[in-house]
Structure 1
Amino acid sequence: MYLYTPDEIDRARAHHQAVIQGADDVDVKRIGNLGELAFEQFCREYLPVEMWNWKNEEAIRRCNPESFAAYDFEVFDYTVDVKTSRDVSAFRPGALLDNDPDDDILVMVWHRDNEDALILLGWERTETLKSKVRTQEEYSGEEPEKLAHLATRPMNELHDLGPNTAHLNQKPENPFKPGDRVVKAEDEDASVAVVVEILPPEKNATLYGQELEVETVSVAFPSALDDGPGDWRTIHPAKLSSYCADQDIKLYSYKQENLRYADHPFTTGDYVIKPDYKDPDLAIVTSVENEEVTVVFEHLIEKDYLQPRRLEEVCEKHDLSQYSFKSEEMAFQSQH
């Protein structure tokens, strides 16, 4: 068995995709998405990447509705559906077949009540499930009152269906995550960008007409995000990819080694606080110059949202006090 612990990005994407899908039961759909994310991590660790395909990868990464598919994955040319449940009785052979008799393989994932951890219990061929049900009915009669048969084969036996491979551990080693502020490495005058999404390496993104065979980092620049219809800083980083796709905001792709974390990450419009104050007020950055940021306290701005490029003008027009601080003295204050 394998334990999968979803991070904040996974959990937010799983939920938002379920909402966008218009699922009748958002909770069930979210948990199903987490189950797929768990199995994707297993595949990435142990199976040759060119021999499996996740049908819903882009839909969940970009929080878009899924196109209809009868199954979730293709592995070694087998169709695989992931079944996720808190109730382990759902993994009895008869129950599994009642819900999905047509796919080649079913993977069983159990989740905790608060969805902070999921366990990949195992998998089974559908044909084997049918045989077990038939045998049970013909020879076994009723199951013991306190002992029910659960269908499962160990997860690590799944790679026996394909070529003989060692544990491949093909998980990308990318230091960045959505929402991070980055700049182009070895460029002393590079503009700050926002990480929007990380593409799996097998997606083979292109850069300047050349196909990339590494994990690609897609970023957007705050100036382009500011031109959107609302305050993108109030959007959870997990949803930025969906937002940019919906609003047709241009993304730029980089190899991960061509980026580094921004030493001075703040841009006009950012929500910040001075953390060494005992009870710091929320402020909004009105301008940035070298290593210094100028801010206005948020409670002085009467409108719900102002385009960041207008903030300094509005402050001067209405004689609103602005204060300047060293960049390293300030910290982001999340508004999502």
Structure 2
Amino acid sequence: MYLYTPDQIDRERAHHQAVIQGSEDVDVKRIGNLGELAFEQFCREYLPVEMWEWKNEEALRRCNPESFSGYDFEVFGYEIDVKTSRDVSAFRPANMLENDPDDDIVVMVWHRDNEDGLILLGWERTETLKSKVETQEEYSGEEPEKLAHLSARPMNELHDLGPNTAHLNQKPENPFSPGDRVTKAGDDDASVAVVVEVLPPEKNTTAFGQTMDGEAVNVAFPEMLDDGPGDWRTIPPAKLASYCDDQSIRLYTYKHTNLKHAEQPFTPGDHVIKPDYDDPDLAVVVETNDEHKKDISVAFLHQLEDVVDDDFYHQPNELSSFCDENGVSVYSFASSVLEFEHQY
């Protein structure tokens, strides 16, 4: 068996993709997405990446509807469907065959009630399931105990279907996650960017078809995100890739070794607090001082809302002039004493 524990990014993507898919039962679709993520992690850890393909990888990463495919994965040339359920009776041979009789192999994934852990119980060839169902139908009387068990082979036997290979661990090595603020390494004047998506290690090619020596990370720059139709800062990081794809916001691809976490991550429009205050007021970044990277100018949100008598939002590049024109006080702080107060 193989245990997979989804992080918050995966949980949010699995749910949002189910919503975008327009599924009649979002809960069932979300759980199915988590099952696919669990099997993808198993493949990444134990099977050579050039010998398996996840049909729904980009759709789930960008929370887009899935293109039609009769199966979820192709492994060593076999068509594999992943079945995920809290009720192990769903993995009885007859139940699985009723839903998907045409795939080569079925993988069985059990999840806990709160979906914080998924266990790959095993896999089985569809032909074997058919044989067992036929035996059960032909047997008269009480079902023997050996036929009552689920039909499943251990997960670690799956690699026996392919060529002999050593156990591999091809999980991403880069330290970045969607939502991280980064700059180009080795460039003191580099602009702050936002990580939108971290590509799987095997998808490390540029737009010109050249292979990168390192894992690829797609980023967007805040000023380009600001030009979008809404306040992107209210969007959870897991959904940024979906938002950028929907709004055709340009992404830039870097290899992860060319990026570093931003020492001064704030840009105009960010919501921040000064955490060493007992009850800190929420502020909005108005300006960053390019000459002195640690100087951040902010205006307090309650003062901005007093001007407009409503929930305040202004284009970030207009905040400085708005404060000047409306007499809103602006205060300067070192970036090191401020923290993000995210609005999603």
Q: TM-score, normalised by structure 1?
A: 0.97
Q: Is 1:191–2:191 an aligned residue pair?
A: yes
Counterparts of 1:49-88 in structure 2 under 5 Å?
Answer: 49-88=49-88
1:314 shift after superposition: 1.1
Partner residue in 1 for 2:315: 307
Partner residue in 2 for 1:136: 136
CA distance in 1 between partners of 2:328 and 2:48 (Å): 60
Q: Is 1:294–2:297 an aligned residue pair?
A: yes
Cα deviations across residues 9-60 of structure 1 (Å, max 9, x unaligned)?
1001001100111110111100000000000000000001001000000000
Partner residue in 2 for 1:119: 119
Partner residue in 2 for 1:322: 330
1:238 shift after superposition: 0.7
CA distance in 2 between partners of 1:317 and 1:246 (Å): 35
Structure 1, unaligned runs of 5 or more: none
Cα deviations across residues 176-234 of structure 1 (Å, max 9, x unaligned)?
00000000000111110000001112224215652326420010011101111111010
CA distance in 2 between partners of 1:313 and 1:245 (Å): 31
Q: Is 1:161–2:164 an aligned residue pair?
A: no
Cα deviations across residues 131-178 of structure 1 (Å, max 9, x unaligned)?
111122223644369x93212110000000001111111112110000
Cα deviations across residues 222-256 of structure 1 (Å, max 9, x unaligned)?
11011111110100001111111111111111110
Q: TM-score, normalised by structure 2?
A: 0.94
Partner residue in 2 for 1:37: 37
* Other structure's SS at 2:139 match: helix
Contact 2:286 2:299 in 1 (8 A): yes
Counterparts of 1:191-270 in structure 2 under 5 Å?
Answer: 191-206=191-206, 210-212=210-212, 214-270=214-270
CA distance in 1 between partners of 2:213 and 2:331 (Å): 46
Cα deviations across residues 65-110 of structure 1 (Å, max 9, x unaligned)?
0011110000000000000000000011111111111100000000
Contact 1:207 1:254 in 2 (8 A): no
AA at the equivalent of 1:99: N
CA distance in 1 between partners of 2:141 and 2:73 (Å): 35
Structure 2, unaligned runs of 5 or more: 306-310
- Report how many residues are paired: 336
Counterparts of 1:16-31 in structure 2 under 5 Å?
Answer: 16-31=16-31
CA distance in 1 between partners of 2:18 and 2:312 (Å): 29
Q: Percent identity?
A: 74
Moved more, 300-309 or 278-287: 300-309
AA at the equivalent of 2:294: E
Cα deviations across residues 279-322 of structure 1 (Å, max 9, x unaligned)?
11111100111211111111222354210011111111111122
Partner residue in 2 for 1:280: 280
AA at the equivalent of 1:279: D
RMSD, aligned CA: 1.6
